[in-house]
Amino acid sequence: MSTPTRARTRGRSGGPNDGAANDGAPDGGAAGPARKWWQRRTHRGKSPAERPPSSHPRRWPWILALTLVGALLCGAVYTVFFSPLLGVTAVAVTGAPDAVAAKVLSAADVPTGTPLARVDLDDVAVRVEAIPEVAAVEVARGWPDTLSITVTPRVPVAVTSANGRFYLLDDSGDPYLAVDAPPAGLVTVQLVAPGVGDPSTTAALTVAGVLTPDFRATVASISARTAFDVELTLVDGRKIIWGEATNSAKKMQILPALLAAKDGNEYDVTDPTLVSVR
């Protein structure tokens, strides 16, 4: 009698096919830890593009950028406000004659190399305006290295005397500058209290302003005790009673012909339509 033949197969006792059969199983028993280890190795081996995004973004590029910007700003501040690279190398004065320009440079007193941005423009303007010959001043920065000072000088229109000295008068009546002698071409005015706002000063300067150059050369002085009592003394000693400063242009118009036609020592043109000669 023949004995039944049993198939020689490896079953669940751990044969070589056992691992292959369990690879696809969701729960592989002893194969579970091996699978997780394999998954961890393959996760570490992924390229940066395949890895999941990090929850902590990189901050060092921003820190580096802010550091560079801060360094640039500090460098710019130092260059502008403290470095001699943008320091004053020249002070340019315009609008003033040479003698006044020299006084302006001395009054400005800005040392060479002073950072242009740190120059106090208002302070410089105050010092320059203290010069008697300066009526107005404008101070500005001329980058990169020039301080510009534009001056409006006073223009003398007459000269007066007080306390034994002569003073130049501008058109406002301000006796702004003492001089040793009356400059050529300026008429001398005799006033009780010369100054800005003084009616007598204003009247005398109004009369001086209408005199033609040729006639001004014949005038020795103008006096004004009051605003209604202006008189001219000519070089030859004759006097002209001008009165107040009204109708001054008309009075100047008739005077040359009157002096040429009438002999006398005193000419009264207070009313230019009714003149008298004595």
Q: Which of 109, 115, 155, 148 is nearest to 132 (CA)?
A: 155
pLDDT at 83: 60
Tokens linked to 116: 């242009």
CB 182 within 8 A of CB 159: yes
In the chain the first and final C-alpha atoms are separated, in Å, by 189
pLDDT in tens, 41-50: 544 555 555 5
- Is 114 in the same domain as 163? no
Separation between Cα atoms, residue 170 and residue 174, nearest integer Å: 6
Q: Identify whether 228 is part of a domain.
A: yes
Q: Which of 204, 119, 117, 127 is nearest to 159 (CA)?
A: 204
- Is 145 in the same domain as 165? no
Q: Identify whether 9 is part of a domain.
A: no
Average pLDDT of the residues in 123-142: 96
Q: Does residue 81 carry a pLDDT above 80?
A: no
CB 162 within 8 A of CB 174: no
Domain of 121?
Answer: 85-153
Average pLDDT in the chain: 82
- Is 244 in the same domain as 263? yes
Count structural domains, the chain: 2
How does residue 59 score in pLDDT terms, banded at 50, 70 and 90?
A: confident
Q: Identify whether 47 is part of a domain.
A: no
- Is 145 in the same domain as 173? no
Q: Considering only 39-48, 64-73, 165-174, 216-225, which range has the smallest mean pLDDT?
A: 39-48
Q: Identify whether 89 is part of a domain.
A: yes
3-state secondary structure of 240: strand
